[in-house]
Structure 1
Amino acid sequence: MKYILPLFLILLLIGTQAYAQERTVSGRVSVDVVDEGLPGVTVTVKGTQRGVVTDNTGRYEIVVNDPATILVFRFLGYQTAEVLVGDRAVIDITLEEDLAQLDEVVVSGTRRAEKITETPATIETISAQDLQNLPTFNPGELLARLKGVEFVRAGVVGTGINVRGFNSNFNSKNLQVTDGRFSSLIATGLPMGPLNTVIKEDIERVEVVLGPNSALFGPNAHNGLVNTITKDPRTSEGLTVAQTVGNQSTFSTRMRYAHVFNDQWAFKVTGEHTTAEEFEYVDSVYINRDTIPGTEGYPEYMLDRDIEFNRGEAAFYYTPVDGTDIIFQGGASNSTYLSPTNVGRNQIIDWNIYYAQAKLVADHWFAQVYHTWSKTEDTYSIDDRTKAYYTFTDLGFPEDLVRDSLSYTTGALFKDDSRRWNGEIQYNNQIEESFFYTIGAQYQRDMANSKGTYLLDENEEDYITIDQVGVYGQFDYKFGNGLKLTGAFRGDNHEVYGFNFLPKVGVVYSGDFGGVRLTYGRGIAAPTILNMYGDLFNGLILGNAEGFTLADGTEIEKQTVEKLQTIELGYKGVVVKNKLFVDANAYYNISEDFLSPVTVVGVTTQRGDTPIEDVQSGYAAYGGLVATYINFGKFNTYGFDLGLSYFFNDALSANLNYSYFGYDTDENNLENDFNNDGVVNKLDLLVNAPRNKASFALNYVGDRVFGSVFTRWVQEFDYFSSFQIAAETQDLVYRGVPIVEDARSADAYNYGPLGGFVTFDVSLGYKFSDQVRLSGQVTNLFDTEQREFTAAPPTGRLYSLELRVDLPPINKQ
């Protein structure tokens, strides 16, 4: 506390000096087509965080202190305008519509605001309007419409993405960030996804970076980043209430309220309660490894298809002086649903996420500290519990004893009481008009605790604690005439896997035509705590933070980071003025030390320096047989993404997206032989991605009516993820069993390849007024068999109807 008072005194002194030359500039912002005021336009002083928002009539007032001040007028869907103040006291301005949003401002490419055509990264965006026109509680559905994204849907609520190959049922290579926080689970590193605390109505935009962005955002922004930015209460006052109903017993109520008290204080609060029921689907569970044709599995024991989400957040914004914000926010969620894994499904029961965050945002400074908690007591592996249940009942144990106790004893129960501390400080500035720089440092302490259920901790007091420190920098130099050179770096030191240096460089040339970019970047995928300290199914699966010694004396090296190098060429711009727009990129990746899925390494005698019998709780049954995670190989991937947008008029538009993904590997290099069968083939690489995919959308947004028709094609592809398999019949062996479609494959059932479908979604809505809108949609209109993931039901037809009401703040109605 002793440092807080001096900090505020310094800030107040800075503000007092600025007031010496203050004067007020006012005006009106209108639309170019009709002479109507445009509310919600952000008006900022260029080069600072200071700004205001236009009122319901489009009017604004802002304080400036220099005639050389440049005001920036920015509103989503309109071209950004910059105006020199000079000696004027009144500045009225008209904004022109930006049909392709080439003036859209993003922050995920360089950690500072810049036009999307000037950023040295491939970024796809979802806007607040996109979300507002989506009549469902699940914002993840819009990820399917983004170029270059490998969208995955697993049942009613399971949505997620992968980028440029190497998907799995436990994919931690795409970093999820929300309002500057890492939104990933502490122990597994998985994106929080449905566990997140944010509701759809509070999202301002989502920025998806395709390709590595580890230099600025940390190790796990390996092949993609999903950056969710929520709404500022000062630019989105009022009450929003949304009610969604649909099939699968879907019922969702959401609320958001934001209020501005005065120039210094504002707050917002959100809440959601959603219930639904998963599609009818029962997976097969096999008690032993016999692969006799015709062997039948057991149905999942005590499968519960009920889904429930409760989540909410609150935030307070305080502005002590112009240009400085202090923000306190927190959130919580409680989730129950079914989640696919490498070994069947997990029954997620009352999984709680909490966070508390404090931020300082000033003209040149950014600092934050936040704490994340993850808690569950009753989540379990359905697959393992089913195996235990039928094994014990076949031995004659009483039903109630098996149900309540013995069915969990083989490691089925997952408890979690993990937490994470994060801190960050950042400084940004510019030298004259040409050189911009950002430098920062981050600290992270992970404290994982599974209460002895799925990690190598022993009890609720035994935290696995790991520290990590990173420093980063970003530099932009503008040569003039639209040419910009960008450089970034990150030095990251992890307590277990050591130090890594990650550079990124890019050249961008932009203008009225759009922007062309050429970039080179390095990324890493870091082993998670589960990879390093996992203890699953009584030690059959063990983490590899220390290496293993096999019975024949062979040493298995401890797992380290996967390294990725990417070269990318991209273009985003206009081909036919106000009509045809293109967004395209091509890339080439070099991957080394690939992080494997869990794999059997053989009978072991030691983990690190510890005898395996002292580590493996199921040693009596397994005799030291261990499955773990390793690094291997070097291989290349490549591809391109193409997006075309055509605007028939201001209301009607069409979008066409196409992506190609390819790969090659040195078949003569036995370091690429992941499964140690003496041959290098696709079962070593496990790409798990379609070579081709495409989508087409027809969108209409009028004064009252809005809607869309969306179709998506995904080419058929084989998929392998540890125990899970989805592949056509072929002359290959996976996990010791021939690959045969529509047949048992070791521990799982092979229903055949994923993808190979074309689906159609339609939506339609009507705005009764600026306050009330009613909309509906049907996903998978023709009820096509849409299989995109293993250990999950095919996604059938889903329909929903949503009523949304937007009201002004209570005292301003």
Structure 2
Amino acid sequence: MKVYLFILSLFCCSISFAQSSVSGTVTDSNGLPVSGASVSVVGESTGTITDSDGKFSLSTSQMPPFSVQVTNIGFTAQTIQVTSPSQKLAVSLQEEETKLNEIVISASRTPERIKESPVTIERMGIKDIKKSASPTFYDGLENLKEVQMNTSSMSFKSINTRGFATIANTRFMQLVDGMDNSSPLLNFVLGNMIGMSEIDVQSVELLPGASSALYGANAFNGILFMNSKSPFDYQGISAYAKYGSTNQKAAGANEYADYGVRVAHTFSKYFAAKANVAFMHGTDWYATDYRDLSNPGADRSFYNYNGVNVYGDEASTNIKAVAGKMLAAGVITPAQFTVFDAILPNYKVSRTGYNEVDLTDNKVRNAKVDYSLHLRPFGNADFEIIFQSKFGFGNAVYQGANRYYLNNFNMQQHKIEFKGKNFFLRGYTTTEDGGKSYDMLFTGLNVNRQWKSDAVWFGQYAATYVTSTLGGATPDQAHANARNVADTGRLIPGTAAFMKAFNRVISDPNVLSGSKLVDNSRIYHSDVNYNFRDLIKFAEIQVGGSYRQYQLNSHGRIYTDAAGPIYYDEYGMYTQFQKKFMEDRLKLVGSLRYDKSQNFDGNYSPRVSAVYSAGAEKNHTFRGSFQTGFRNPSTQDQYIGFNVGSAVLIGSAPDNLTRYSEVLPVNTAIGQALAGGENVTLTGLNAYNNSYTAASVTQFSELAASDPIAASALLRKSNASNVKPETVKAFDLGYRGQIKNFSFDINAYYNIYNDFLGNLNVIAPYYGTVVDSPNPLGGAADPGAQTLHALQNDNYRVYQLYTNTDIEIKSLGFGVGVTRKIAGNFELGANYNYAQFDFDQAKDPSFEAGFNTPKHRVKGSIGNDRLFKNFGFNVSARWSSEYLWQSGFADGTIDAATVVDAQINYSLPQLKSVFKLGAANLGGKEYRQVIGPGLIGQQYFISWTVNP
């Protein structure tokens, strides 16, 4: 009996551990190997990916006969019958004419074909990166439908979709391997500075528009997913090197280099690891816009000149008021004051500033380092543990209310993730350090003050103006003489004296004497998701949630955190229901998310969508969705307390208003009497509760001298409320399909925004009580009349507030994308986007919505990756119409622009190499995407990429 049981157990074991081994090669129609093709056993999760030679090998517990499916993006799937336990396969994939079958994950948090996506989605894969004519894959995203790129610096480019574009795009989210790439301090993405190396990119997916139902508050206007290659699937040493030149009229021709290495190895079926290093350096686009911000057409001889890319000229004063200060300081006698007061003009004069190109080294650098360890305890992809660290270092120019040089700025992210077939659980932290970053406006101001104080400079200016006028000079001659005398001793850029003062200023975080930006902020974040598809069969149901804590730590330089870090948290949870009907032709999806932020009420975000697949092959899909989205005010909106010179940025969290305060000197004896002293202390409460709108003060100032009664009637109290979340109702319709070898992707959207978040400029007088239309005849005892005196004597402070508009804002747009392959493997593509918004500015004249988006955009490309043996090429072109740019830094018109990029490439299979010669902006006409940064010129490069 024991012998029988022993023999039986051996038999059972042999059955339990019997395996089939399948190997082979995958090629295309020309017999060339296809790398990265997915090979899986039908009905199982068992699978693998082909290597660079198109080879694969996998094992399964199934015994023949069974089927293996081979798929790859851009090819028709092949299913092969396996009849032998050790069968070798030779699979030839045929290229398909459509991308409808590409697999995406982001739209529904579950794998699905792109044609079945319930919302609009764009995708870039490995093949698209290879054929891109742009200098980097991230630059190449600009050629996707719906994408608008805003360039602040060569290494800092901001992606936007569906309007309301900014450099500091807090309405757009970017996830790299599931980690939010946003800066903890600034709450927006710094381009690809801590993103991903080009040779490690598996795929990029873009969801334009609101995605709050699944991804929370920050996914308000779009979300970008960058997914890296697994070391289990892509092994070996990969490397790339790019070298070329940037060309710009202002900067000339300069060298540019970008190179990186990826090392990945599978030590066993249980453990794999990878590491990436990438470095880019070059010369940034010089910012040389010397137009005056407030006086169009004025040049540097203008008395109150304030150039766009000139800093230090923000120090200005009413030159007539200088006489009173000189009298109070004992510099002039009462008799001299009478002469000064009679001669000095009643308008502002500014100091001579420094150009931006003199306040930076104009070099751009970016280094990215990352590594990850991958553990599969059961030897398959059903359960994997990942530890990943990412580091980003570099220089770039960021533009917000001012221009900031991010010098040796660095960010790092560390993640641990548990993921399986139906779930993931991840936690990560993001930390940043401002390095030697500095504010260029305060650099200019304080370098000037290193050699001569504002009081002395304006005093010399006033005295020389009076002396010149008494000597018979015209006003223009008197101003020129006054500036020459006041500028005596000015530090000259490039000299040792200038560099000594410059280095002292940029290392000092005190805005009264320095310009250094201090930042050691961090984020702690966790996500969880579970899909019940293997437990619940009648529908696919998912649940998930997230938690985040901010730790703001600018040491009082940017936020009101001088006494210690500010802690702020938020959390959310969601569920999604998905089911197919009508022989899988109709898919219905419903999602609901709840989010709660520390300072605001909770918010629900529902989404409902339907996808119908028509046609015999289900290749005509129609989709429609409705969802609500919301955006919590960012940490800047709530906790900033940032003196930018010309204004103070004040966040509206209740405790923030009292934490920010400053002591300011009061002009004139009467003003000091009304204020109760020579100085006055203002807090954020003055900004929000006792201020006029800046627009009404401008109107008042233009009319005050000629008709003070009519002028005062124009003044309006700001009535700014504390910020609250903004919301959107988003309607989306779309079609994807193929008609006579043409692949179409059409979408349209309509958005309704309420409580739209934006900025409001206000002016708070040092004394008096702000009211609508104060009475100029009220006398010194009238609090309203006191504010008029303050406005007329420069006794006020300018603030930029974060608030909501009560006016409903609407935006709509549509896009059409068409691709087709023609004879000889040529691929043609074109897309068009239309965008507009509706905002009644007359109802809220002080509010800037900042749509910042061209109404018309056209993009097109033609390429052939097998033009002839081993040669390929691609040409892409894009055009956008002119549009208005509005921001806290500067407003202006962005001109229409046409840009052509082109590349040719040569593959050398023996060396597993691809060589590429490319040019961005081949036509050479410089263009801008934002008011403030430099014009974008040409970029030429040659690259060598090696993949195992």
Task: Report the TM range for the smaller structure's normalisation.
Answer: 0.7 to 0.9
Contact 1:23 1:65 in 2 (8 A): yes
Specify every segment of 5 or more residues in structure 2 that has no aligned partner in the other structure, as ranges: 1-11, 246-253, 289-308, 318-346, 457-488, 492-496, 658-684, 692-716, 769-793
User: What are the residue-to-residue correspondences of 1:60-209 with 2, within 5 Å?
Assistant: 60-64=57-61, 72-80=69-77, 94-134=92-132, 138-209=136-207
Taking structure 1 as reference, are residues 661 and 767 closer, same or farther at Cα in structure 2, changes over 3 Å only? Answer: same
Of 224, 236, 241, the residue aligned with 1:238 is 236
Contact 1:604 1:626 in 2 (8 A): no
Q: Which position in structure 2 is the counterpart of 1:724?
A: 890
Q: Which position in structure 2 is the counterpart of 1:487?
A: 590
Matched, 1:403 2:502: yes
Taking structure 1 as reference, are residues 600 and 261 closer, same or farther at Cα in structure 2, changes over 3 Å only? Answer: same
The structure with the greater share of residues assigned to helix is 2
Aligned partner of 2:652: which letter? N
TM-score, normalising length: structure 1: 0.84
Q: Which position in structure 2 is the counterpart of 1:41?
A: 37
Residue 72 of structure 1 and its aligned partner are, at CA, apart by 4.9
Q: Which position in structure 2 is the counterpart of 1:615?
A: none
User: What are the residue-to-residue correspondences of 1:351-362 with 2, within 5 Å?
Assistant: 351-362=409-420
User: What are the residue-to-residue correspondences of 1:267-306 with 2, within 5 Å?
Assistant: 267-282=273-288, 283-285=309-311, 286-288=313-315, 298-300=354-356, 301-306=358-363
Matched, 1:535 2:641: yes
Q: Which position in structure 2 is the counterpart of 1:715?
A: 881
Taking structure 1 as reference, are residues 171 and 69 closer, same or farther at Cα in structure 2, changes over 3 Å only? Answer: farther
Q: SS at 2:519's partner residue?
A: strand
Q: Which position in structure 2 is the counterpart of 1:700?
A: 864
Contact 2:133 2:902 in 1 (8 A): no
Q: Which position in structure 1 is the counterpart of 2:400?
A: 341
Q: SS at 1:531's partner residue?
A: helix
Of 900, 909, 913, the residue aligned with 1:772 is 913
Contact 1:24 1:62 in 2 (8 A): yes
Contact 1:598 1:722 in 2 (8 A): no
Residue 624 of structure 1 and its aligned partner are, at CA, apart by 5.9
**Whole-Å Cα distance in 2 between the matches of residues 44 and 498 of structure 1?**
47
Taking structure 1 as reference, are residues 659 and 551 closer, same or farther at Cα in structure 2, changes over 3 Å only? Answer: same
Residue 289 of structure 1 and its aligned partner are, at CA, apart by 5.9
Residue 303 of structure 1 and its aligned partner are, at CA, apart by 2.2
User: What are the residue-to-residue correspondences of 1:375-454 with 2, within 5 Å?
Assistant: 375-395=433-453, 402-405=501-504, 408=508, 409-410=510-511, 412-430=515-533, 435-454=539-558
**Whole-Å Cα distance in 2 between the matches of residues 71 and 501 of structure 1?**
44
TM-score, normalising length: structure 2: 0.73
Percent identity for Structure 1 against Structure 2: 22
Aligned partner of 2:411: which letter? I
Specify every segment of 5 or more residues in structure 1 that has no aligned partner in the other structure, as ranges: 1-15, 607-620, 676-682, 727-752, 808-813
Matched, 1:629 2:802: yes
Taking structure 1 as reference, are residues 253 and 666 closer, same or farther at Cα in structure 2, changes over 3 Å only? Answer: closer
Matched, 1:789 2:930: yes
Worse-matched range after superposition: 134-143 or 60-69: 60-69
Worse-matched range after superposition: 117-126 or 397-406: 397-406
Of 271, 286, 311, the residue aligned with 1:265 is 271
Contact 1:41 1:58 in 2 (8 A): no
Q: Which position in structure 2 is the counterpart of 1:745?
A: none
User: What are the residue-to-residue correspondences of 1:22-61 with 2, within 5 Å?
Assistant: 23-24=19-20, 26=22, 28=24, 30-31=26-27, 33=29, 38-44=34-40, 50-55=46-51, 56-61=53-58
Q: SS at 2:532's partner residue?
A: strand
**Whole-Å Cα distance in 2 between the matches of residues 456 and 144 of structure 1?**
37
Contact 1:704 1:767 in 2 (8 A): yes
Taking structure 1 as reference, are residues 84 and 584 closer, same or farther at Cα in structure 2, changes over 3 Å only? Answer: farther
Taking structure 1 as reference, are residues 67 and 440 closer, same or farther at Cα in structure 2, changes over 3 Å only? Answer: farther
Of 669, 689, 700, the residue aligned with 1:550 is 689
Worse-matched range after superposition: 351-360 or 381-390: 381-390
Residue 54 of structure 1 and its aligned partner are, at CA, apart by 3.5
**Whole-Å Cα distance in 2 between the matches of residues 605 and 582 of structure 1?**
64
Residue 143 of structure 1 and its aligned partner are, at CA, apart by 1.5
**1:195-220 Cα deviation digits (max 9, x unpaired):** 21421111111111111111111211
Contact 1:434 1:478 in 2 (8 A): no
**1:94-152 Cα deviation digits (max 9, x unpaired):** 54323322110111101111100011111111112222344766322111210111222
Contact 2:753 2:810 in 1 (8 A): yes
Q: SS at 2:808's partner residue?
A: strand
**Whole-Å Cα distance in 2 between the matches of residues 533 and 768 of structure 1?**
55
Taking structure 1 as reference, are residues 281 and 318 closer, same or farther at Cα in structure 2, changes over 3 Å only? Answer: same
Aligned partner of 2:803: which letter? I
Taking structure 1 as reference, are residues 202 and 37 closer, same or farther at Cα in structure 2, changes over 3 Å only? Answer: closer
Residue 39 of structure 1 and its aligned partner are, at CA, apart by 4.3
Taking structure 1 as reference, are residues 21 and 440 closer, same or farther at Cα in structure 2, changes over 3 Å only? Answer: farther
Of 802, 806, 810, the residue aligned with 2:947 is 806
Q: SS at 1:268's partner residue?
A: strand
Taking structure 1 as reference, are residues 24 and 605 closer, same or farther at Cα in structure 2, changes over 3 Å only? Answer: farther
Taking structure 1 as reference, are residues 584 and 488 closer, same or farther at Cα in structure 2, changes over 3 Å only? Answer: same
Of 619, 633, 636, the residue aligned with 1:513 is 619
**Whole-Å Cα distance in 2 between the matches of residues 110 and 69 of structure 1?**
31
**Whole-Å Cα distance in 2 between the matches of residues 565 and 556 of structure 1?**
24
Taking structure 1 as reference, are residues 203 and 599 closer, same or farther at Cα in structure 2, changes over 3 Å only? Answer: farther
Residue 653 of structure 1 and its aligned partner are, at CA, apart by 0.8
User: What are the residue-to-residue correspondences of 1:638-649 with 2, within 5 Å?
Assistant: 638-649=812-823
Contact 1:155 1:794 in 2 (8 A): no
Residue 60 of structure 1 and its aligned partner are, at CA, apart by 3.0
Contact 2:135 2:920 in 1 (8 A): no
**Whole-Å Cα distance in 2 between the matches of residues 28 and 452 of structure 1?**
63
Q: Which position in structure 1 is the counterpart of 2:894?
A: 754
**1:534-555 Cα deviation digits (max 9, x unpaired):** 1211781111122744227976
Aligned partner of 2:437: which letter? T
Taking structure 1 as reference, are residues 535 and 413 closer, same or farther at Cα in structure 2, changes over 3 Å only? Answer: farther
Aligned partner of 2:604: which letter? F
**Whole-Å Cα distance in 1 between the matches of residues 181 and 591 of structure 2?**
23
**Whole-Å Cα distance in 1 between the matches of residues 440 and 351 of structure 2?**
20
Taking structure 1 as reference, are residues 598 and 238 closer, same or farther at Cα in structure 2, changes over 3 Å only? Answer: farther
Q: Which position in structure 1 is the counterpart of 2:323?
A: none
Q: Which position in structure 2 is the counterpart of 1:522?
A: 628
RMSD of aligned Cα (Å): 3.2
Contact 2:418 2:425 in 1 (8 A): yes
Taking structure 1 as reference, are residues 110 and 41 closer, same or farther at Cα in structure 2, changes over 3 Å only? Answer: same
Q: SS at 2:755's partner residue?
A: strand
Residue 356 of structure 1 and its aligned partner are, at CA, apart by 1.1
Residue 160 of structure 1 and its aligned partner are, at CA, apart by 2.4
Residue 319 of structure 1 and its aligned partner are, at CA, apart by 0.9
Of 727, 732, 738, the residue aligned with 1:568 is 732
**Whole-Å Cα distance in 2 between the matches of residues 487 and 203 of structure 1?**
31
